[in-house]
Structure 1
Amino acid sequence: MKFSRELVLVPSDTKVKYEENGGTGKSFTTAIIGVNAKGDILPPLTVYAAKSVNHQWTEGGSPRSTYQCSKNGWINDDIFGFWFLNVFVAETISLARPVLLVLDGHRCHFTIQVIEAAKQHNIIILCLPPHCTYGL
């Protein structure tokens, strides 16, 4: 592998200096990915900034992946609730209980639907401070 160096000048208050093209900031794609301590990976859920999923976006995706859309490509209450019930609960249903789920404390992770389903399925949710998992 060959690396090259180049000089990049940015204002000192620029938060992200390593991206080649940061985009406009108006459109995002988000992925919800779950991994356990053993290294098993849950099927990912990808959220696109669109009104509906274009099937070309899903071609070649990971097996059992799910896809959703939101206005800005971010996770919202409905999308997280869908992931929690249809991916997390469904994929962990055969595990011994209780099950621990570690999340950042974003408000969409704590709807009544999610809390009631967590209680019903004996899932303990450990909440980290909001937005702290972005760098992980």
Structure 2
Amino acid sequence: DVPASNLLNYDETNLADDPGRKKNIARRGHKYPERIINSTKASTSVMFSASGDGTILPPYVVYKAQHLYESWREGGPCNSRYNRTKNGWFDLFTFSDWVETVAM
């Protein structure tokens, strides 16, 4: 029997600050037009998680950056964890860090 506090539900959500244009020009009848965005955009992923007993775990934030600046850690929710990757998404290292520092 597994205690409810040991059951976790988690979800990675990616947030972008430049969603691009809302409209796309494509040929008539083209079912799946492709949208190519020529600009760079910031990308931040956040892992939200909760246990089966209702405990909300602190968020884990991953920035798209080469370096993690101290100012990015200021003003966030209590006990939040922060990291960075080249593309702003979770990779094996950041997911493992989330498991070890938040989920455990």
Which range, TM-score by smaller chain?
0.5 to 0.7
Change (3 A) 1:51 1:38: same
Bigger strand share: 2
Structure 2 segments unaligned to the other structure (5+ residues): 1-20, 26-31
Which segments of structure 1 move beyond 6 Å, counting only runs of 4 or more? none
Change (3 A) 1:73 1:63: same
- Give the structure-2-normalised TM-score: 0.59
Equivalent residues in 2 for 1:1-136, closer than 5 Å: 10-11=23-24, 24=39, 26-89=41-104
Tell me the SS of whatever aligns to 1:40: coil
Whole-angstrom CA distance in 1 between matches of 2:103 and 2:58: 9
For the 8 Å contact 1:26–1:72, the answer to whether it is kept is: no
Whole-angstrom CA distance in 2 between matches of 1:10 and 1:88: 41
**1:39 Cα deviation (Å)?**
3.6
Whole-angstrom CA distance in 2 between matches of 1:71 and 1:30: 12
Bigger helix share: 1
- Give the structure-1-normalised TM-score: 0.47
For the 8 Å contact 1:35–1:42, the answer to whether it is kept is: yes
**1:14 Cα deviation (Å)?**
7.2
Change (3 A) 1:55 1:10: same
| Alignment length (residue pairs) | 76
Structure 1 segments unaligned to the other structure (5+ residues): 1-7, 16-21, 90-136
C-alpha RMSD of the superposition? 2.9
Tell me the SS of whatever aligns to 1:48: strand
Relative contact order (C-alpha < 8 Å, sep 6+): which is higher? 2
Q: Percent identity?
A: 30
